[in-house]
Structure 1
Amino acid sequence: MGAADPSGDRQNVVHRVRHALRYPGHIAYHRAVTADDTARSPEAAVGHDPSRERRAQLGRMQFDYLLAHGLRPEHHVLEIGCGNLRAGRLLIDHLDTGHYYGIDISPAILLAAQGTLVREGLQSKLPYLTLVGDLTFGFLPEGHFDVVHAHSVFSHSPRQVVEQCLAHVGRILAPGGHFDFTFNRTEGREHQVPHEDFSYRTRTLTTIAARHGLKARFMDDWERLPQGQSKIRVTLMSDRARTVGP
């Protein structure tokens, strides 16, 4: 890991431009930026929330939402973009041993996640924490996960990454399982800050999902919570089993 960039965190325009020029690829850029941010503060490296209390609140909100939608200890959960386990620490504690699988593109943040496990005393729950370079999930078993969860991932992902994820996530969903993801919603023109912030229309995402055999539902109850993104849930169109939760 290189030395921290003195120009500031990822909210700093100079910081963004410098890394975008040096690391033009999406994965390489985020690994570099996250490494710098993690060197400053592993807790603050995930998300744009200024306070520790707010970060903890958002992690709790994600967990409570899944719990309210039927998450049980025996379920198998995959968290895409697990980061330093802002929500993952609560999921790991709730789930049976070995039932949590977290993936991330950043080696630095996964090391921070290991520190979270130690700090929270969760080693005995044997969670899986794995580095990935794409969202094809080829190394994961078919039909295994009851819940796949991605918070603030598509909000930082270009369309090709979103498409890749939705093209492959159906293979790893268990019968009755679902994939929840948040996104920056726009009613107008879709726009982006290169490598950083991406906004999508709901119809764009539901159309991509349908193209890959997934039924998408906009989650109105999430919209009413005090957070800044929208949420969609996808299930397999061919899945006649009862979905997890309502």
Structure 2
Amino acid sequence: MNRASWLHRIQQAARHPERVLPYVRRGARDLRLRLLHRDHVAYYRAVMAADTARDPKAAVGSRNEERWLALGKMQFDYLVEHGLRPEHRFLEIGCGNLRAGWRVISHLDPHRYYGIDISPDIVIEAKKELVARGLQDKLPHLTVTGDLTFDFLPDHHFDVVHAHSVFSHSPIEVIDECLAHVGRVLAPGGFFDFTFNRTQGTEHHVLREDFYYRTSTLLSLAERHGLTARFMQDWEERPHRQSKIRVTAPA
């Protein structure tokens, strides 16, 4: 479905009248922030600042503590099932407030986790979560970034790169930037997993916050940058509304 179409909006309003006022408020915020921030990263950083101030867990897409824990465990379990080992070097793009990250940090050897996010507000929450979980001795790196070029990171360093609910909030040029550079930081034999909102129809966005892509578009984009990409069918078995693609770089 095209969630940006007026037909869909009218149908949703009729079915869920209680969502109309929150949607109008969100639309008003979207208009104000788009006028203030023409660049998407700056725009979404402002969105995250507002959402984090209201509720850090809701800011990363979890409506309550139980759901926050469940989604983090789902991500972590999938990574371990696919071979994440304590000695691996792990880069998390959009680390948020460590919804999955605290489990990954606990699993890895010290100095092996590197988390980046465009939002300084959510990175502060990540540090609080790190303290709450007593994981300081793992010495993870938590860094604010302004793009996805990874220019401050070394070549062929990370065995696993992970981005959950990042591309679902990204225009195609941001995804293209990431895929253009992620191959450089991937270690031989390493992989990059990312989730995305999948549509089989017209690609679209809702208020520049939620983006929907066809699988073929993202597979082709990765291949254009010399990467091998495949749709992860086994992820579809999980109770999650986003789909997953895995990217690997040539040896």
- Cα distance in 2 for partners of 1:9, 1:104 equals 26
Cα distance, 1:12 vs structure 2: 2.5
Cα distance, 1:39 vs structure 2: 1.4
> Counterpart in 2 of 1:193?
206
User: Is 2:228 the partner of 1:228?
Assistant: no
- Deviations along 1:125-157, whole A, 9 cap, x unmatched? 000001111000011000000000000000000
- Cα distance in 2 for partners of 1:171, 1:217 equals 19
TM-score when scaled to structure 1? 0.90
Match of 1:115 among 119, 125, 128: 128
Q: What amino acid maps onto 2:166 in structure 1?
A: V
> Counterpart in 1 of 2:78?
65
Match of 2:30 among 16, 24, 48: 16
What SS does the aligned partner of 2:122 have?
helix
Structure 2 residue runs of 5 or longer lacking an equivalent are 1-20
Q: Is the 8 A contact 1:35 1:109 kept in 2?
A: yes
Q: How does 1:28-47 map to 2 (within 5 A)?
A: 28-47=42-61
What SS does the aligned partner of 1:101 have?
strand
> Counterpart in 2 of 1:215?
228
Q: What amino acid maps onto 2:42 in structure 1?
A: A
User: Is 2:158 the partner of 1:145?
Assistant: yes
- Cα distance in 2 for partners of 1:85, 1:225 equals 20
Report the aligned-residue RMSD. Answer: 1.6
TM-score when scaled to structure 2? 0.88
> Counterpart in 1 of 2:145?
132
What SS does the aligned partner of 2:155 have?
coil
- Cα distance in 2 for partners of 1:80, 1:217 equals 19
Q: Which structure's residues are more often helix, by fraction? A: 2
> Counterpart in 2 of 1:81?
94
Q: What amino acid maps onto 1:71 in structure 2?
A: L
Q: Is the 8 A contact 2:27 2:207 kept in 1?
A: no
- Deviations along 1:38-87, whole A, 9 cap, x unmatched? 1122222112x322211211111000000000100000000000000000
Q: What amino acid maps onto 2:149 in structure 1?
A: T
> Counterpart in 2 of 1:26?
40
> Counterpart in 2 of 1:97?
110
Q: Is the 8 A contact 1:9 1:37 kept in 2?
A: no
Paired residues, number: 231
- Cα distance in 2 for partners of 1:105, 1:167 equals 18
What SS does the aligned partner of 2:63 have?
coil
Cα distance, 1:24 vs structure 2: 2.5
Cα distance, 1:107 vs structure 2: 0.6
Q: Is the 8 A contact 1:10 1:16 kept in 2?
A: no
Structure 1's consecutive aligned runs of 4 or more residues displaced over 6 angstroms after TM superposition are 7-11
What SS does the aligned partner of 1:175 have?
strand
Q: Is the 8 A contact 1:185 1:202 kept in 2?
A: yes
- Cα distance in 2 for partners of 1:80, 1:9 equals 28
Q: Is the 8 A contact 1:79 1:148 kept in 2?
A: yes
Q: What amino acid maps onto 1:19 in structure 2?
A: L
- How much identity, in percent, do the aligned residues show? 63
Cα distance, 1:122 vs structure 2: 0.6
Q: Is the 8 A contact 2:105 2:138 kept in 1?
A: yes
Cα distance, 1:102 vs structure 2: 0.1
